[in-house]
Chain A
C-alpha cells in the first residue's frame, strides 16, 4: 500500500494532511450539529431507547437468571429492550459500582442483592442511600446443609457440637464471608452462644464450590439456599438440617424451619431487588414500581421463578428502602464480632 505515492514530496504530503484535517473538522462540526439537534428532541417519554439492566454477577448464576426473567418481562411491558449486562468482577463490586455511578436517567438500572458487607469489610463504600429503590422481587431463605454422614440428626445437635468445639467444624462462606448465607448462620451462632471469634469461616467462590467442598470433606457446614443444593440433596450426599424461612419450602417439605427446631422465628437469606442510581426521576421510578408490582404478581413470571427454584417476595419502594437500611445496620454490628 502506498508505495506508488512514496515519491510524493514532504511538502506536498503536509498540505495533503492539512487539507484532510480540515475536511475531518468540517465533518465533525456537521455531525455535532446534527446530533445535538437530535438530543434536543430526545426527551419525549421514558423509555424511548433501550434500557441497560446491570447484573452484578457472572452469567448463569441466580442473580443472572432472575435478572434475565425480569428483563424479558419489563421489555414486554415498556416496548423497549432491557439489555442484561453481567458485571461480576470483584465479587459484584464492579457491577454495583456501575449501577451507583450511572446517570440517573432511567436508562441504567440494576439488580441489587445483599450488599451491606462490602462497606463493613472495607471492600467498597456502598450505602443504601446510593440507590433509588424500586422493588424487591425475590427472597431465598438460607438453609443449613451438612454431609449425609454427619453425626448430627438435627440443627440443635449441630449447634451443640459447634458450641463445644468451634474450631473442629469449618463453616463455609459461600460467595465470601459477609454475604447473605454466612450472615444468616452467623446471626444464629450469635444468639445460640457459638463463639463467633473462634468458629472457622471458610470463604469460597459460591454455593456450588462450597457444596462440592462439603462432599469432598473440606468443610462441615454449608449455609446456602435449598434449590442450590438440590442436586446433591437428591443424590443423598448432603442433608439439609433446617431452613431459615417463616414456613417450610413447598419444594422441600421435609426440611424443618429454624423456628420449628429452635423455637424462634427467623427469615434470613438472600434477597434481590431492582434499583436505579440515586436521584432517579420520580416519574420513572413510579412507572417501574407499578410495572414490577404487576410482574411479580403475574402467574407466568411466578411460574418461571419457581421453575428456576427462586423464592418470590414483594416489597414496594418504601418497604424495600426500610428493609435495606435495617439490613445494613444488622450486618454492620455482626461483622466485627466475626473477627473478619
Chain B
C-alpha cells in the first residue's frame, strides 16, 4: 500500500504541483500580511482543476512551507510573516541583530521540518488514537486550554511582568471590538457598522509589527539608539547540530505540544507556538560556557517545531472526524470533499492509498522545507543590503496591499494604520508587542468557552472542574501560576533545614 501510495506521489505532475505550492507558500508566508490561510484559500480554485493527489499534495506543501516561511521577515526585519511566527520573532530578530540571522533561521527551519515530520508520522500511525482526544474536549476544557495559553504570555512578556500584562490586556481589548462571540451584540464598535466584523487578526498583526516598524524608522531614521538592522546572515548551517542536540528535549516538547494543541479543535499553530515556548523555555538552566544566543534559541527551537507539528495535529481530527482544528484545516476538509473524499473514521480504510499518499506528501513537504528555506534565505540575502530608507516604504506598501488582499475592506486598512500608531505608542512606553497578539487570538476563545460553559450549567461555576479532563487542566493552569512562586520558597526552606541539621552535627 505504501509502495502504491509512493507511486501515486512520485509523478512529475505531483512533484510539479508541490514545487509550485512550495514557491507560493514561500511568497505568502514571507510577505507580511499574506497568511498561510489566505494561501490555502487561493489554492482552492487551482486545486479544483487538478487530480486529487496533486491537489492535496499541493495543499499540504503550501501549509507547511508558508507557516515556516513566516520566520524569514520575523528574523530579518522583526516583522513576523504569519501569526504563528509572532511567538518567537523577537528572539529570532535579536539573534539577527547580533549577526546570527542565518543560525536563527536555520534552527527554525530544521525544527519546523522535524516538528512537521513528527506530525506526519503521528498522523500516519496514530490518527485514530489521537483523534479520540478531540472527543473529550468540550467548551469547559477549551476554556482552560485558552487560559493556559494566556498564561504562556509570561514567556514572551520580557523583563517586566507589569508591562507584559498591559500589552496582553491591550491585545485582549482590541479583540473585544465587534460582535461578541456568544450573543452577537455589537461591542465597542462606537456605533460604526463597519467594525462589527472585529478588527481582524491580519490587520492587527501587520499593524502592530510592520506598520509600527515603518513608523519607528520614519521617526528615528535608523540612525538613533535603535539597534541597526542585520546586514548579513552570518553562519547558517555550521554549528547547528550541537545546538539542536543540546535542545532535543525542547524540540520534543515543542513537537508534542504542537501535536496536542493542533488536535484540539479551535486552537491552531499560533497558540501552539506560544504554549510550546512557555512549556519548554523555562526549565533550561544555563550550562557550561553560555552562548549569547542560548536564551533566544531556547525560544525558537520549541516554538518553531510546535507550529509545524500543529498542522499535523490539526489534520488528525480533520481527516478522521471531519472536525477542523483551525482555519487551515477547514480548507483542507473543503478540498478533500471537493475531491470526493469524505473525512471520517473510515477514510483510511475506504481510500487507503490516497490517504497514505496525502500523509506521505505532507511528510515530503516537511523534508522539502529545508532546501526551500535555504533557497529563500539565499534570495533574501540581497534584501539585507537595501537601506531602510527604501525598504520601509516598500514594507508599508506591501502591508497595505496584503491586508486588503486578505480582508477586502478599506476599514481593515484604516485599522492597520491605527494599530500601527498604537504599536509606536506601546514601544515608546517599552511595552512588548508579542503578548498583544496572543491576547488578541486567545481573548475571544476564553470568553466564548467560559460563557458557553456557564450557559450550559445555568450559571453554576462548578462546571469548570466537573469533568475529569477539565479538573486536570484546571490543576495545570493553577500550577503554572503557583509553582514558580512557591517552588523557590520550598527549596529555600529545605536548604535551610539541611543547613541547620549540618550545623547540629
Direct chain A–B contact by Cβ atoms under 8 Å: yes
Q: Which residues of A are in contact with B by a Cβ distance under 8 Å? A: 1-2, 58-61, 64-65, 68, 71-72, 84-87, 89-91, 93-94, 97-98, 121-124, 167, 170, 176-178, 200, 202-205, 208-209, 211-213, 215-219, 228, 230-232, 234-235, 237, 304, 307-309, 340
Q: Which chain B residues border A178 with CB–CB below 8 Å?
A: 184
**Is B327 a contact partner of A90 (Cβ separation < 8 A)?**
no
**Is B327 a contact partner of A60 (Cβ separation < 8 A)?**
yes
**Is A216 a contact partner of B389 (Cβ separation < 8 A)?**
no
Output the residue of A58, A97, A202, A218 with the most chain B CB within 10 A.
A218
Q: Which chain B residues border A122 with CB–CB below 8 Å?
A: 185-186
Q: Which chain A residues border B196 with CB–CB below 8 Å?
A: 90, 93-94, 123-124
Q: Which chain A residue shows the least CB distance to B37?
A: A59
**Is B179 a contact partner of A217 (Cβ separation < 8 A)?**
no
- What band does the interface of chain B fall in when counting residues whose beta carbon is under 8 Å from A? 35 or more
**Is A209 a contact partner of B266 (Cβ separation < 8 A)?**
yes
Which among A177, A237, A307 is the interface contact of B135 at CB below 8 angstroms? A237
Which among A60, A93, A208, A235 is the interface contact of B331 at CB below 8 angstroms? A60
Measured CA separation A89–B409 after assembly (Å):
11
Offer 24 A-B interface pairs, CB within 8 angstroms, sorted by A. Answer: A59-B37, A59-B41, A61-B334, A72-B45, A89-B197, A90-B178, A90-B196, A123-B179, A200-B455, A202-B452, A203-B182, A203-B455, A208-B323, A209-B266, A211-B323, A212-B137, A217-B138, A218-B140, A228-B322, A231-B320, A231-B321, A231-B322, A231-B345, A340-B183
B337 on interface, CB distance cutoff 8 Å: yes
Measured CA separation A202–B458 after assembly (Å):
11
**Is A308 a contact partner of B337 (Cβ separation < 8 A)?**
yes
**Is B338 a contact partner of A65 (Cβ separation < 8 A)?**
yes
Q: Which chain A residue shows the least CB distance to B335?
A: A60
Which among A86, A87, A90, A237 is the interface contact of B179 at CB below 8 angstroms? A90
B40 on interface, CB distance cutoff 8 Å: yes
B308 on interface, CB distance cutoff 8 Å: no
Q: Which chain A residues border B407 with CB–CB below 8 Å?
A: 87, 89
Which among B40, B334, B345, B408 is the interface contact of A98 at CB below 8 angstroms? B408
The A/B interface has a contact count, at CB < 8 Å, of 163
A91-B179, A208-B324 known; A218 and B456 CB under 8 Å? yes
Q: Which chain A residues border B496 with CB–CB below 8 Å?
A: none
Q: Which chain B residues border A228 with CB–CB below 8 Å?
A: 322
A72–chain B nearest beta-carbon distance, Å: 7
**Is A123 a contact partner of B184 (Cβ separation < 8 A)?**
yes
A90-B196, A123-B196, A170-B455 known; A235 and B408 CB under 8 Å? no
B343 on interface, CB distance cutoff 8 Å: yes
What 1/0 flags go to B340-361 for Cβ under 8 Å of A?
Answer: 1011111000000000000000
Q: Which chain B residues border A71 with CB–CB below 8 Å?
A: 45
Measured CA separation A203–B387 after assembly (Å):
51
Q: Which chain B residues border A64 with CB–CB below 8 Å?
A: 44, 334
Measured CA separation A90–B321 after assembly (Å):
26
Given A209-B265, A212-B134, A217-B138, 20 additional A-B pairs, CB 8 A: A60-B41, A60-B327, A60-B330, A65-B334, A89-B197, A90-B178, A90-B197, A94-B409, A124-B196, A176-B184, A177-B183, A178-B184, A203-B181, A205-B448, A216-B134, A216-B138, A218-B140, A235-B321, A307-B340, A340-B183
**Is B408 a contact partner of A93 (Cβ separation < 8 A)?**
no
B331–chain A nearest beta-carbon distance, Å: 4
B139 on interface, CB distance cutoff 8 Å: yes
B422–chain A nearest beta-carbon distance, Å: 20
Measured CA separation A301–B45 after assembly (Å):
16
B193 on interface, CB distance cutoff 8 Å: yes
Q: Which chain A residues border B178 with CB–CB below 8 Å?
A: 89-90
Q: Which chain B residues border A93 with CB–CB below 8 Å?
A: 179, 196-197
